[in-house]
Structure 1
Amino acid sequence: MIEVANRLHTVEEYYFSKKLREVNLLIANGKPIINLGIGSPDMQPPQKVIDAIANSFSNPNAHKYQSYQGLPELRDAMAAFYKEHFKVPLSPTSEILPLMGSKEGIMHISMAYLNEGDAVLIPNPGYPTYESVTKLVGAKSVFYELDEANNWAPDLKALSKMDLRKVKLMWVNYPHMPTGAQPSKFLFEELVAFAKKHNILVVNDNPYSFILNNSPKSILSVKGAKDVCLELNSLSKTFNMAGWRVGMVVGDSKHISNILKVKSNMDSGMFYGIQKGAIEALKCSSMWFSTLNSVYQQRRDLVWKLAEALGCSYDKEATGLFVWAKLPAHLKSEEFIDSVLKNNHIFITPGTIFGSKGEGYIRFSLCASTDVLEEALSRVI
């Protein structure tokens, strides 16, 4: 028997990878399962995006290796997008690195900056990949707890009292996933000040800015943020392009250069046609966001009713692709969702997969049609 690397003993298979096997087995056995667990957009990208990838196939460069840094016109489009929507100026030649989905950026950034034994500040609740990648590179996860009473924002004063000498990286994620909490007016400013004081690289993972949110924000809009901050972004949710795998990391040129050293040794650049489609997506007018969000608003209204029918409460000010709902007192997240799956044939995500502070909460995805959501509601009421 050939032994696996020690790093594999520190991580488990991704929750959805395991749970969806169970869900798919139920479906195969004839159970009419409604999946409200995954945030995989079910609507189409803009038509001009689909046309762009289709038209790209005849280009003589389409099937060649592509630049590790992406097409210049893609980086130009990303820079224009940040300038228009976040009021953040970026150099397309040195401060933007296209990614094959922002998820790979978590690994690239971690490999570029973390040595074995370094510490990483990770939100609880938060995206599970922050912890798993930290383990894979041999660094130590240091969880900072988020609480509903504080609008799911970190207590930076409490963190400053800790011994942070080994902390090199801090993951933040606003608008927050899974809770949908928006950053306060001053949170990003306080994070930049905290990063400078403690010499920590703060990375804001920002793929949900445009979903049911009229005020998208970037941490890089704060003066001096580029010195100590990076931001990840993605076209997956904003333009219904999750399967296309298009993301970006933006920030100061020295950080981008360091990440490129990792990325250029791990892939050979994004497919030409996908880049051409991404360029068209980034040029979409405000009408696209309005149309997209009108659909999500109708869906969210139904999910709110579903949450109420299940005895849950929720925050109407939250944004994003999910509804984060609080269970009645004393109920356990995983037991609750298993009961709903068994009795109502509805799959909902338990809050515990996002950390211990997710206990007592569940998360609904808005990636289902109104007809499907009405059917789910009818099974509960």
Structure 2
Amino acid sequence: MREGEKEERTQPFSSPEFAPVKLGGGISPQLIAGRKAGKAEKVHLVIRRLLRQRAIQEGKAFLDLGTDSFYPFFQQYSATQQALQALGDYAYTARWYPSSFGLLQLREEAQRFLRTRFNVHIDMEKELMITAGASQAFDALSRTFQGECFLLPDLAISTIHTIAIANGARPLRIPLHPVSGLVNLQEAARLLEREGRPTIRFLYLNYPHNPTGVCATRAFFEEVVAFAKQFQVLVVHDMDSWYQAHISGISLPNILEIDGAKEVAITLLSFSKEFGLPGLRIALVAGNAEVINALRIHNSEYSVMLPEPCQYAALAALQAFREDEE
């Protein structure tokens, strides 16, 4: 039995429901609406847990190619192992309050990574920050901006849907193109016109796409940037996995590679799936300086801080990756 399976066996399959609360004026109806909206999309998580438990009971290995942090690759991946070592080496830094937007050394390494991996040049003082995972960044975006609606693909991870609705935004779903599998921007434009061009908090894009695996092209991102400028929409490119080539030799584009993208876009790169380190709750956010500044203010005022041992672990992962590439 692998580490972590014993704990999961004891977890209940059902998630907590809201009970009537008299204190504090009751539970926010927006939070309840967000939970209901995301419930159907979380069915796959329940199925995954049931399948894992059955495999454990039958003494079989269970491998989830989509989200499994126990994927054997990570047991040999130097970046993952160096990160785990750094957690212990820098445990003493938990004695003081950490930065709300990221260690200087980590931001320097992230800046270097974006330059060498995507040829994207970022001002680490104005266009880059570290957040407590991608989900926290989505929540901060939903709280910080006040657009009436948000745009997301027909198929998207439930977290985005739930968080944005819970923060008072209305979802506008964009169909995927029947051939390419990419977001159909022509349909998105028609949708906005039909809705009377409402204010939009952000357009969420996840490429490589979860759950279909479809990969975006530079040509597609060029269309996205043009669309965003036309409708004055902030684009959030969630590149949560496979932003490194590994052994495949496949180089996937990031939206910030496109000329003018920083005028309308930010990108998020998580350490969870890419390095097999979901417990760190670390992601880097880069792009539009005004958006980054707003997120920094949000995290500072709401005291969103990232434990420094986790930040040093993320730093070790990026450094090990760079050394392997060199």
Question: Is the pair's TM-score, using the shorter chain for normalization, greater than 0.5?
Answer: yes
Corresponding residue for residue 88 of structure 1: 120
SS of aligned partner of 2:266 = strand
The letter for the 2-side match of 1:185 is R
Mapped pair 1:246 → 2:278: no
Task: Report the structure, 1 or 2, having the larger helix content.
Answer: 2
Q: Please tell me the root mean square deviation across aligned C-alpha atoms, in Å.
A: 2.6
1:120 to 143, 150, 169: 150
Mapped pair 1:170 → 2:203: yes
Structure 1 residues 40 and 263, CA gap change in structure 2 (3 angstroms): farther
1:248 CA drift (Å)? 1.4
Contact map agreement 1:70 1:270 (CA 8 A) in 2: yes
Q: How many residues align?
A: 285
The letter for the 1-side match of 2:174 is Y
SS of aligned partner of 1:161 = helix
- Pairwise mapping of residues 275-290 of structure 1 onto structure 2 (< 5 A)? 275-285=311-321, 288=324
1:268 CA drift (Å)? 4.2
1:161 to 190, 210, 214: 190
- Pairwise mapping of residues 1-381 of structure 1 onto structure 2 (< 5 A)? 1-2=20-21, 3-10=26-33, 11-12=35-36, 13=39, 14-15=42-43, 18-19=46-47, 22-23=50-51, 26=54, 34=62, 36=64, 39-42=67-70, 43-44=74-75, 45-58=79-92, 61-115=93-147, 118-147=148-177, 149-162=178-191, 163=193, 165-168=197-200, 169-208=202-241, 209-210=243-244, 212=248, 214-285=250-321, 288=324
The letter for the 2-side match of 1:177 is N
The letter for the 1-side match of 2:253 is K
Deviates more, 1:134-143 or 1:44-53: 44-53
Contact map agreement 1:74 1:279 (CA 8 A) in 2: yes
Structure 1 residues 177 and 27, CA gap change in structure 2 (3 angstroms): closer
1:48 CA drift (Å)? 2.6
1:4 CA drift (Å)? 2.1
Contact map agreement 2:69 2:278 (CA 8 A) in 1: yes
Deviates more, 1:8-17 or 1:120-129: 8-17
The letter for the 1-side match of 2:190 is K
Task: Give a deviation string over 1:129-164, Cα, whole Å, max 9, x none.
Answer: 1211121011110100114x3321122223223326
Unaligned runs of 5+ in 2: 1-19
Task: Give a deviation string over 1:183-203, Cα, whole Å, max 9, x none.
Answer: 123011110000000111111
Contact map agreement 2:32 2:166 (CA 8 A) in 1: no
What is the rounded CA distance, in whole Å, between the counterparts of 1:27 and 1:66 in structure 2? 40
Corresponding residue for residue 297 of structure 1: none
1:22 CA drift (Å)? 4.4
Structure 1 residues 261 and 35, CA gap change in structure 2 (3 angstroms): same
Structure 1 residues 179 and 24, CA gap change in structure 2 (3 angstroms): closer
Structure 1 residues 26 and 265, CA gap change in structure 2 (3 angstroms): farther
Structure 1 residues 196 and 62, CA gap change in structure 2 (3 angstroms): same
Structure 1 residues 34 and 54, CA gap change in structure 2 (3 angstroms): closer
Structure 1 residues 36 and 260, CA gap change in structure 2 (3 angstroms): same
Deviates more, 1:37-46 or 1:47-56: 37-46
TM-score of the superposed pair, with normalisation by structure 2: 0.79
SS of aligned partner of 1:193 = helix
Percent identity for Structure 1 against Structure 2: 24
Structure 1 residues 54 and 235, CA gap change in structure 2 (3 angstroms): same
Structure 1 residues 265 and 40, CA gap change in structure 2 (3 angstroms): farther
The letter for the 2-side match of 1:121 is L
Task: Give a deviation string over 1:61-80, Cα, whole Å, max 9, x none.
Answer: 44211011111111111101
Deviates more, 1:274-283 or 1:84-93: 274-283
The letter for the 2-side match of 1:54 is G
The letter for the 1-side match of 2:125 is T
What is the rounded CA distance, in whole Å, between the counterparts of 2:53 and 2:263 in structure 1? 49
What is the rounded CA distance, in whole Å, between the counterparts of 1:16 and 1:106 in structure 2? 21
Structure 1 residues 213 and 180, CA gap change in structure 2 (3 angstroms): farther
Contact map agreement 1:81 1:283 (CA 8 A) in 2: no
What is the rounded CA distance, in whole Å, between the counterparts of 1:16 and 1:65 in structure 2? 37
